[in-house]
C-alpha cells in the first residue's frame, strides 16, 4: 500500500504545482467574472436570480474565499441586467485587487481537481483489483491537458465532473454493498452535482439504467429490499441538498420572486425556474455562429464532441481508448465498474449530441474521468498490455508538460502545427481570453509602448495591460497605421470568416493594412506588425 500511496501523493503535488503555476498568469476567461460575481451576490445578498442559467452551488463555493477574505459587494446588483458587465465591474472597477480575487476564487476548483484524481484512483483500484491500475487511471485523469485546463478556473465544469463521478462511484458501491452511509454519500454528491450544473440531471436516468443492468446481470439477488431502501434514502439525501442550496435566497428575494408560493415550496419553484432558463439556453443554440473544422452553424453537429475529442485529447489517450475497445470486443467480460463507467459516457455523450450547443469540449468534461476509468479497468484484464499502457501514460504526462502553461489552447499533433488550431475549433477550446496578461509580459519584453488590440475574453485591457491600447481600427474599417503592433484574439480572427458576423475577414484586413504575422502569445493571441 505504501508505494501507491507515496506515488499518489507525489503525483498530486506535481499536478497541484502545475495547476497553480499555470493559472497564476491566466487572465480571466470569458465566464469567470460573471460566475464570481454571481457567487458573491448569492452569498452576500441571497439573490438567486442573478445568472439563473447556472445553479448556485459552485459559484458560491468559488466566491466563498473572497467573502471570507472580507471582499464586499454593493446590494445594487443589476448593471443593465448584464451579469457579464457586473462581473467586470467587480473585478476591475471596484478598487479591489482583481488578480488576487481571481486567484482566490480558483483555489476551490483546484482542490476539487486533485480530489477527482483520488476518487478515480479508489474506484479503479477497487474494480480492477489493482492499486497500480488505480494510479494509472489517476495519472490519465489528472494529467489530461483538457481536464487540467478547466480544473484551474472559477467555473462549474470541473465541479460537475467531480460530483458526477463521485456520485456514480458511490452508487456502484451501493449496488454492491447497500448501506445507509453510502446512500447518504450518493445523495449528497448527486445533489451537489445537480446544484453545480444542470447537465448533472443525467444522473437520474443513469442510476435507473444502472439498476436495471445490475438486476439483469444478477448483481442484485437477496439484497433487493435493502437496496431499494438505501436508494430511496439516497434520493431523499439528494433532495435535501438541493433544497438546502436553494434555500439560500433572502427574504426580500423570495418576496420579489415568489410572493404567492408557500415558503416550503420556494426551493422547488426556484429549481423549476433554473431548469426553464437552462433549457431555453441549451435548445436555442448560441447567439453567435458555432464552429467546427472550417464550418459555421447556428445550431450544432451531432458529431461535434467526438470530433473535438480527436484533436483535444492526447494521442496516447486516444490509443489507450482504442486498445480498450479492442480488448472489450475480444473479451466481452467487463467488470461491473467498467460497465457503469461506459454507460455514463454513452448517456452523457448522447445527451450532448442531441443538444444545440457546440461551444467547447468543456461541456462534456464529465465524460473524461469515466472514460479513463473504463480504459484502466478493461486493460487491467490483459496483464501483457501493462508495459504498453505505462509507456502511453508517460507519453500522456509528457504532453501535459508540453502544454504548460497554455492548457486551454492544447491540441494534439493530429492538427499539424498549432498555427492551424483555429481551423478546427475556437471559443473555449482555444481562446477563452486567458492570455491577456501574457500579452502584457510579451509587450514589456519587446519594449512595445502601444498596441492595437482586438481581445476576446473576461480580462480587462485597461488593468491587465500596461501598454497604451489604440482604438478605432478593425476588420471593415480603417487600415492599421504604419509602424503599429496589432494583437488579435484567434477567436475573433476565425469568426470573421462568417459573413453574417463580419464585413471583412481578418485575412483581407491584414493584407489591406500590410501587416505581417510575428508570433502567437500563449496560444490564443496572434501578434502582427505593420512595417
CB of 229 within 8 A of CB of 181?
no
Question: What does the pLDDT read at residue 423?
Answer: 97
DSSP code at position 455: -
Query: What is the spatial order of strands in the sheet that 485-489 belongs to?
Result: 468-470, 450-454, 485-489, 525-530, 515-521
Preceding amide of 436 cis, omega within 30:
no
Question: What does the pLDDT read at residue 504?
Answer: 94
pLDDT over 50 (residue 496)? yes
Q: pLDDT exceeding 70 applies to what percent of the chain?
A: 95
pLDDT-derived band at 152 (thresholds 50, 70, 90) equals: very high
Backbone φ and ψ of 92, nearest 5°: -120, -15
Best CA proximity match to 340, nearest among 142, 226, 174, 157: 174
Which residues lie closer than 8 Å to 517 by C-beta, 6 or more apart? 526, 527, 528
CB of 237 within 8 A of CB of 188?
yes
Question: What does the pLDDT read at residue 416?
Answer: 95
Tell me how far apart the alpha carbons of residues 337 and 322 are, in angstroms, rounded to a whole number.
Answer: 19
Question: What does the pLDDT read at residue 285?
Answer: 54
Residue 76 grid cell: 445594487
pLDDT over 70 (residue 525)? yes
Strand intervals (E) in 214-331: 290-292, 295-297
DSSP code at position 156: S
Mean pLDDT of 189-205: 94
Worst-scoring range by mean pLDDT, 27-36, 247-256, 349-358? 247-256
Question: What does the pLDDT read at residue 218?
Answer: 76
pLDDT over 90 (residue 32)? yes
Question: What does the pLDDT read at residue 1?
Answer: 47
Return the higher-pLDDT residue of 109 and 298.
109
Report how many helices (DSSP H) and strands (DSSP E) the chain contains, helices first: 22, 7
Place of cell 493559472: 23
Tell me how far apart the alpha carbons of residues 202 and 347 are, in angstroms, rounded to a whole number.
Answer: 8
pLDDT over 80 (residue 212)? yes
Q: Can you say how many angstroms the Cα of residue 69 is from the centroid of all Cα atoms in its chain?
A: 26
Tell me how far apart the alpha carbons of residues 88 and 27 are, in angstroms, rounded to a whole number.
Answer: 12
Residue 487 forms beta bridges with which residues? 453, 527
Question: What does the pLDDT read at residue 78?
Answer: 54
Q: What is the mean pLDDT of the chain?
A: 91
Question: What does the pLDDT read at residue 77?
Answer: 53
Tell me how far apart the alpha carbons of residues 172 and 191 are, in angstroms, rounded to a whole number.
Answer: 17
Question: What does the pLDDT read at residue 332?
Answer: 77
Characterize the bridge pairing of strands 295-297 and 468-470.
Answer: unpaired
pLDDT-derived band at 193 (thresholds 50, 70, 90) equals: very high
pLDDT over 80 (residue 328)? yes
Tell me how far apart the alpha carbons of residues 127 and 296 are, in angstroms, rounded to a whole number.
Answer: 43
Mean pLDDT of 68-76: 81
Question: What does the pLDDT read at residue 61?
Answer: 97
Return the higher-pLDDT residue of 277 and 436.
436
pLDDT over 60 (residue 68)? yes
Identify the sign of the CA torsion 352, 18, 398, 426: positive
The pTM assigned to this predicted structure is 0.94
- Name the maximum alpha-carbon separation found in the chain: 81
pLDDT over 60 (residue 475)? yes
Question: What does the pLDDT read at residue 284?
Answer: 58
Tell me how far apart the alpha carbons of residues 340 and 212 are, in angstroms, rounded to a whole number.
Answer: 11
pLDDT over 70 (residue 80)? no
pLDDT-derived band at 252 (thresholds 50, 70, 90) equals: confident
pLDDT over 60 (residue 253)? yes
Question: What does the pLDDT read at residue 266?
Answer: 76
Amino acid at each position: 500500500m505504501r508505494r501507491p500511496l507515496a506515488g499518489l501523493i507525489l503525483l498530486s503535488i506535481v499536478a497541484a504545482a502545475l495547476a497553480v503555476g499555470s493559472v497564476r498568469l491566466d487572465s480571466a476567461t470569458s465566464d469567470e467574472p460573471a460566475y464570481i460575481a454571481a457567487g458573491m451576490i448569492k452569498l452576500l445578498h441571497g439573490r438567486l436570480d442573478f445568472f439563473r442559467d447556472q445553479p448556485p452551488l459552485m459559484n458560491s463555493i468559488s466566491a466563498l474565499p473572497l467573502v471570507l477574505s472580507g471582499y464586499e459587494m454593493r446590494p445594487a446588483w443589476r448593471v443593465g441586467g448584464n451579469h457579464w458587465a457586473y462581473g467586470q465591474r467587480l473585478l476591475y472597477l471596484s478598487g479591489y485587487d482583481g488578480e488576487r480575487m481571481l486567484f482566490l476564487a480558483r483555489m476551490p476548483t483546484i482542490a476539487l481537481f486533485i480530489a477527482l484524481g483520488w476518487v478515480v484512483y479508489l474506484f479503479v483500484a477497487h474494480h480492477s483489483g489493482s492499486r497500480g491500475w488505480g494510479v494509472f487511471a489517476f495519472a490519465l485523469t489528472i494529467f489530461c491537458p483538457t481536464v487540467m485546463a478547466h480544473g484551474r478556473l472559477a467555473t462549474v465544469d470541473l465541479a460537475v465532473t467531480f460530483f458526477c463521478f463521485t456520485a456514480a462511484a458511490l452508487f456502484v458501491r451501493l449496488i454492491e454493498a447497500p448501506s445507509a452511509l453510502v446512500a447518504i454519500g450518493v445523495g449528497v454528491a448527486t445533489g451537489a452535482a445537480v446544484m453545480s450544473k444542470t447537465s448533472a440531471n443525467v444522473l437520474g436516468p443513469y442510476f435507473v439504467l444502472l439498476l436495471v443492468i445490475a438486476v439483469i446481470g444478477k448483481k442484485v439477488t437477496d439484497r433487493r429490499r435493502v437496496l431499494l431502501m438505501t436508494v430511496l434514502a439516497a434520493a431523499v439525501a439528494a433532495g435535501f441538498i438541493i433544497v438546502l442550496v436553494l434555500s439560500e435566497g433572502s427574504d426580500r428575494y423570495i418576496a420579489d420572486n415568489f410572493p404567492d408560493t408557500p415558503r416550503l415550496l420556494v426551493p422547488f419553484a426556484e429549481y423549476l425556474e433554473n431548469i426553464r432558463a437552462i433549457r431555453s439556453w441549451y435548445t436555442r443554440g448560441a447567439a453567435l455562429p458555432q464552429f467546427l473544422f472550417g464550418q459555421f452553424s447556428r445550431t450544432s453537429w451531432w458529431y461535434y464532441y467526438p470530433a473535438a475529442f480527436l484533436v483535444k485529447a492526447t494521442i496516447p489517450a486516444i490509443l489507450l481508448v482504442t486498445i480498450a475497445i479492442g480488448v472489450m470486443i475480444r473479451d466481452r467480460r467487463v467488470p461491473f465498474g467498467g460497465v457503469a463507467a461506459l454507460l455514463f459516457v454513452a448517456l452523457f455523450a448522447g445527451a450532448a449530441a442531441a443538444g444545440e450547443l457546440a461551444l467547447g469540449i468543456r461541456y462534456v468534461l464529465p465524460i473524461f474521468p469515466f472514460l479513463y476509468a473504463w480504459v484502466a479497468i478493461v486493460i487491467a484484464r490483459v496483464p501483457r498490455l501493462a508495459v504498453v499502457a505505462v509507456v502511453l501514460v508517460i507519453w500522456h504526462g509528457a504532453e501535459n508538460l508540453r502544454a504548460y502553461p497554455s492548457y486551454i489552447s492544447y491540441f494534439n499533433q493530429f492538427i499539424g502545427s498549432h498555427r492551424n488550431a483555429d481551423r478546427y475549433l475556437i471559443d473555449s477550446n482555444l481562446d477563452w481570453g486567458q492570455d491577456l496578461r501574457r500579452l502584457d509580459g510579451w509587450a514589456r519584453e519587446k519594449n512595445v509602448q502601444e498596441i492595437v488590440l482586438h481581445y476576446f475574453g473576461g480580462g480587462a485591457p485597461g488593468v491587465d495591460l500596461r501598454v497604451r491600447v489604440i482604438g478605432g481600427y478593425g476588420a471593415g474599417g480603417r487600415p492599421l497605421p504604419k509602424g503599429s503592433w496589432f494583437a488579435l484574439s484567434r477567436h475573433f480572427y476565425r469568426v470573421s470568416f462568417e459573413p453574417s458576423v463580419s464585413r471583412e475577414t481578418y485575412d483581407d484586413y491584414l493584407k489591406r493594412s500590410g501587416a505581417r504575422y510575428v508570433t502567437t502569445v500563449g496560444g490564443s493571441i496572434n501578434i502582427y506588425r505593420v512595417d
